[in-house]
Amino acid sequence: MIFRPPSLEKALTFVDVIMATAVIAVMSLGVVGSLTYGFFVMQMARENQRATQIMLEKVETIRLYRWDQIVYSNGFVPTTFTEVYDPQAISNQQGVVFNGTVTIANFTNDANYYTNMRQVTIGLNWRTRGIPRTRSLTTYIARDGIQNYVY
């Protein structure tokens, strides 16, 4: 048996306790930071999904308009619009505000049917926790498209 002096068998020192507390604090901050980042990524994914839904809704609505309403719209197709994240929520709690634009331009191809087509671009802008975000969708509409089957 090895004899040890009683002074070496004491409990943890104050420095050991401080170091252990510092290690636990750093680990806790890492966990909280990871959770915060995860919630932020989920918020961005939800907003991206909602932006896609808004753009598709606008495009599908425009596809149902008659050709003369699109080409000679004179304000029939609004060039700007505003949507909220959750329109069914109570006022001031509807979430992110999406600001959108609608641009209808001539078909840019040199094909012989270029006068019977239009290019539609829907653009959205919004902010996620102060970060500016933007998405756009471009599609084409033909004179003999789906609107002839609806009316």
Kindly provide the residue ranges of all beta strands, DSSP E only, lying in 6-114, ordered along the sequence. Answer: 80-84, 97-106
Domain count, the chain: 1
Inside any domain, residue 62: yes
Predicted TM-score (pTM) of the model is 0.75
Inside any domain, residue 129: yes
Inside any domain, residue 35: yes
Each of the 151 residues of the chain gets a pLDDT tens digit; together they read: 676 666 655 666 888 889 999 999 999 999 999 999 999 999 999 999 999 999 999 998 888 888 888 887 677 888 999 998 887 778 888 888 999 999 998 888 777 777 888 899 999 999 988 899 999 999 988 888 766 665 5
C-alpha dihedral, 23 to 25 to 28 to 32, nearest 10°: -140
CA separation for the pair 117, 70 (Å, rounded): 10
Instruction: Describe the chain by its helix, strand, coil percentages, rounded to 5.
Output: 45, 25, 30
Inside any domain, residue 6: no
Range of the domain at 110: 11-150
Do 127 and 133 contact (CB within 8 A), yes or no?
Answer: yes
Inside any domain, residue 5: no
